[in-house]
Structure 1
Amino acid sequence: MSERRVPESIRALRSANFRLYFFGQAVSLLGSWIQQVALVWLVYRLTGSAALLGVTTFASLAPQLLLGPLAGAWIDKQDKRRCLIVVQSLLATQALTLAVLTALGWIGPTLIVAMSLLLGVLSSFDAPLRHSLINAFVESREDLPNALALNSMLVNGGRFFGPPVAGLLLGLSSEAVCFGLNALSFMALIFAVLRADGRMPEPVRGPVGRVFKEGARYVWDTWYVRVLIGVVIGVNLTASSYATLLPILAKDVFLGDAKTLGWLWGGAGGGAFLGTIVLTRVRSLARLSQGVVAAVAISAVALVGIGASHLPALAFAGLVLLGFGITVCNAGINMLLQSSTPETMRGRVVSFFMATRFGFDAIGGLAAGLLAAWWGVQVALWIEGVLLFVCLGFLFSHRGRLESDLRH
């Protein structure tokens, strides 16, 4: 693929190794989104419990908050290529087991929570591995922010295409088929990692405890890193928990079915995909930080708007905005952190980012499920919107210092 034929907005794809990695992840992430939609639908179809939706989401994400930073320190000491292949193989086994249990009719709330917990443990290693290896497959350091934006585009492309495909599959077949397809999808990334010839980073030396403490000290002592991680906590504790509430909106508020859920989720995915397209065109860290502030504001407005919606079309529009805001915030902060962090600290900073990104998403999902069970789904969305406006006030008042620190 010649440089002349590759648009500037996707310049990282000029690297053959990154192209392999990119397309391997595309297949794997699509399968993961299909499984996620099928799992929440299975939970609500079997139990009708909003609280159990929150518990399931919490179980699949909470281990990343507890294990993520330690996993990052351990990963920095290992052969990352080999570790990723092993973790992807274990994730495929988890999905296949879930498919078999569901097909045989042996699945129930206890097993669902247990399988979600296993998924969370494996994801604690998978997410930092996949992100920290991006730099190894990109030929030029100047292309790293673009590669990160393209990687985020993959995640959100899966969020856009995966839910409608899952809704269609659920209408034509069953949850077990969705889980089985996800098990197969992991083979694509394993193949890509085996074929790609990347520059693997040298393992960090020293005990895991010392490596972890060095990373934690850097995150806490560096002001802009501490603030950006705090914004990740605020956004994912509130806005990202919409995923837990979507089955309730689809079935109880809009009186729909699995296809309704798929389209609502696809609306958020479409907005997220648009957000990643915007990010591929941003080069300045100062402009990127301004975009993060704007994204928090958009997310807060969207949450309140969805809570006030009584028509699926209005909720769909709100979810497009919400998906856009969450993605620009999370992916933009990831780009800011990786672009401004020393090479020796990148893996550990990424692990802290991932831990807060998914860990507080888990806590937010649990809280959203409980709020919806007590006061209803729309009140839950309003409460989350108000909390995010408080976060926005802090970030807006410190935006000048944030831009200044990132320039240096």
Structure 2
Amino acid sequence: MAAAAARPVTSPSVTPAGSARTSGRSGGTFAALRVPNYRRFMTGQIISMCGTWMQTIALGWLVLSLGASGTILGIVTAAQFLPILVLGAYGGLVADRANTRALLITTASLQATLAAVLGVLVITHVVTLWMVVAFAALLGLTQAADNPARQSFVQEMVGPETLPNAVTLNSVTMNAARVVGPAIAGLLITLIGTGTCFLLNALSFAAVIVALIRLDRAELRPKPRLTKAPGQIRDGLRYAVRTPSIRIPLTMMVIIGTLAYEFQVTLPLIARQAFHGTAATYSLLTGAMGAGAVIGGLLVARRRLTGVRSLVVIAAVFGVLILAAAAAPSLPLLVAALVLTGAASVAFISTGNATVQLSSDPRMRGRVMALWSVAFLGTTPVGGPVAGAVAQALGARAGLVLAGVAALVAALIGLASRRQAAAHPVTAAGRPTPVSS
């Protein structure tokens, strides 16, 4: 198994060094929606994502309502993502071994149950801070397996040629939900309270489960099922390190995921401290990023954009826009800057995700995407408390400054790594291989 998996598989758009070979048309902005299974899947995801964003807003506001500081908010956020950091690689191995569709039904059911329990605790006024931390940690446990399975399942539905478009449309729908979900959450929190948001999120998972059950299994392209054997997690790690078009995006995402994607910590603090706002203000800021991500995602979806070269440029633009948001002197200017930041954000995530997936051997895809989830989400236990502490000590805007600098540093490291890989191209087997620009 290890020897066979050591041969990197690249798509026509990704070279071994991660350079973009082609970035042409993807077959239209909504090419992936021509696949019936993908349409069914995305219908369930759109509904569920709205509920997830409602829960995200409610969770952050609930923590602050319980009297917690910015640092505590960071710790609660870290509790949700610590299981992904610690168990993410094993979650990817589970995804490689399991029937992906059945695994996703299981994780959706567990997340619905957790949301319902917390909603009842909030509505009955018995919730305490330790209960919120426990909820966040248990949610993270389910996400450790759900994230790599859900991301790798996209290729089982659409195939490699349509994957970049499908990945981008995933991001578009997630960020469209970022507009709708927070708007509903802000209204519900103001009129009723946070508990209703958790209960509605629990109900939204029914759409996911129904969609997964209704998929035409004959039209799926299931990955090879991995048989149990020792050393498979180590094999996945070695494979990722040896493949530049996987290693470089992962390295960049570790930096950006740790210090830049901490908006769930920085934005509520900016809403409350910098602009003396309410939950509606926080929802407005989150929704602005979501609106920008939808617009940017639809533009990216028209292009088959992959490769480290594109990723470096996008990361640099992302960093500059975050710094512009940090310097915005008024709420309208901050909202405008966050719209542009959201567009750059979805472009970075979509390009990196597609590059990593298309560079992965199908037998390694679950473990590779688990590493992507660790880099994106699992780094939050480190970055969440850091961003919260920086914002608490230096002001809410300082958290955004930290994020912008991190994105620029990631771009520089990606550029240097790409040049090094191009100068010394080596395959996973250790043999030189030509590199195209």
Q: TM-score, normalised by structure 1?
A: 0.92
| Higher RCO, 1 vs 2 (CA within 8 Å, ≥6 residues apart) | 2
CA distance in 1, matches of 2:306, 2:28: 17
Equivalent residue of 1:204, what SS? coil
Letter in 2 for 1:29: M
Give the equivalent residue in structure 1 for 2:367: 348
State how 1:250-289 maps to structure 2 within 5 Å: 250-286=271-307, 289=308
Give the equivalent residue in structure 2 for 1:13: 33
Contact preservation (8 Å) 2:58, 2:194: yes
Q: 1:362 and 1:266, CA in 2 relative to 1: closer, same or farther beyond 3 A?
A: farther
Contact preservation (8 Å) 1:43, 1:53: yes
State how 1:1-40 maps to structure 2 within 5 Å: 8-40=28-60
State how 1:91-106 maps to structure 2 within 5 Å: 91-106=111-126
Cα offset, 1:172, TM superposition: 2.1
CA distance in 1, matches of 2:333, 2:421: 35
Larger displacement relative to structure 2 (81-90 or 390-399): 390-399
Contact preservation (8 Å) 2:305, 2:351: no
Give the equivalent residue in structure 2 for 1:370: 389
Contact preservation (8 Å) 1:28, 1:189: yes
Mind listing any 5+ residue stretches in structure 2 that lack a counterpart?
Answer: 1-26, 426-434
CA distance in 2, matches of 1:191, 1:239: 35
State how 1:184-199 maps to structure 2 within 5 Å: 184-198=203-217, 199=220
Give the equivalent residue in structure 2 for 1:244: 265
CA distance in 2, matches of 1:308, 1:402: 36
Cα offset, 1:72, TM superposition: 0.6
Deviations 1:361-393 (A, max 9, x none): 342222101111222212232233333322222
Give the equivalent residue in structure 1 for 2:430: none
Give the equivalent residue in structure 2 for 1:329: 348
CA distance in 1, matches of 2:327, 2:363: 47
Is it true that 1:43 corresponds to 2:58 in the alignment? no
State how 1:286-305 maps to structure 2 within 5 Å: 286=307, 289-305=308-324
Is it true that 1:206 corresponds to 2:223 in the alignment? no
CA distance in 2, matches of 1:402, 1:183: 46
Give the equivalent residue in structure 2 for 1:132: 152
Letter in 2 for 1:176: G
Give the equivalent residue in structure 2 for 1:169: 188
Cα offset, 1:9, TM superposition: 1.4
Is it true that 1:230 corresponds to 2:251 in the alignment? yes
Give the equivalent residue in structure 2 for 1:59: 79
Give the equivalent residue in structure 1 for 2:14: none
Cα offset, 1:98, TM superposition: 0.5
Mind listing any 5+ residue stretches in structure 1 that lack a counterpart?
Answer: 1-6
Q: 1:407 and 1:272, CA in 2 relative to 1: closer, same or farther beyond 3 A?
A: farther
Cα offset, 1:399, TM superposition: 4.6
Equivalent residue of 2:262, what SS? helix
CA distance in 2, matches of 1:64, 1:316: 31
CA distance in 1, matches of 2:168, 2:180: 18
Contact preservation (8 Å) 1:285, 1:407: no
Give the equivalent residue in structure 2 for 1:3: none
CA distance in 2, matches of 1:407, 1:324: 29
Query: Could you tell me which of 71, 92, 102 is aligned with 1:72?
Result: 92
Q: 1:196 and 1:97, CA in 2 relative to 1: closer, same or farther beyond 3 A?
A: same
Q: 1:190 and 1:68, CA in 2 relative to 1: closer, same or farther beyond 3 A?
A: same
Contact preservation (8 Å) 1:239, 1:326: no
Cα offset, 1:396, TM superposition: 3.1
CA distance in 2, matches of 1:383, 1:259: 25
Q: 1:324 and 1:201, CA in 2 relative to 1: closer, same or farther beyond 3 A?
A: same
Cα offset, 1:223, TM superposition: 2.1
Letter in 2 for 1:318: A
Q: 1:398 and 1:115, CA in 2 relative to 1: closer, same or farther beyond 3 A?
A: same
Letter in 2 for 1:378: R
Deviations 1:220-253 (A, max 9, x none): 1112311110011111122211220111111121
Cα offset, 1:99, TM superposition: 0.3
Give the equivalent residue in structure 2 for 1:4: none
Q: 1:184 and 1:231, CA in 2 relative to 1: closer, same or farther beyond 3 A?
A: same
Q: 1:215 and 1:318, CA in 2 relative to 1: closer, same or farther beyond 3 A?
A: same
CA distance in 1, matches of 2:113, 2:78: 21
Query: Could you tell me which of 87, 104, 114 is aligned with 2:107?
Result: 87
Q: 1:380 and 1:137, CA in 2 relative to 1: closer, same or farther beyond 3 A?
A: closer
CA distance in 2, matches of 1:177, 1:356: 32
Percent of paired sites with the same residue: 33
Letter in 2 for 1:91: Q
Q: TM-score, normalised by structure 2?
A: 0.86
CA distance in 2, matches of 1:390, 1:60: 26
CA distance in 1, matches of 2:305, 2:189: 43
CA distance in 2, matches of 1:402, 1:169: 51
Contact preservation (8 Å) 2:309, 2:415: no
Give the equivalent residue in structure 2 for 1:141: 160
Q: RMSD in angstroms over aligned alpha carbons?
A: 2.1
Give the equivalent residue in structure 1 for 2:413: 394
The count of aligned residue pairs is: 399
Structure 1 residue ranges, 4+ long, deviating more than 4 angstroms after superposition: 398-408
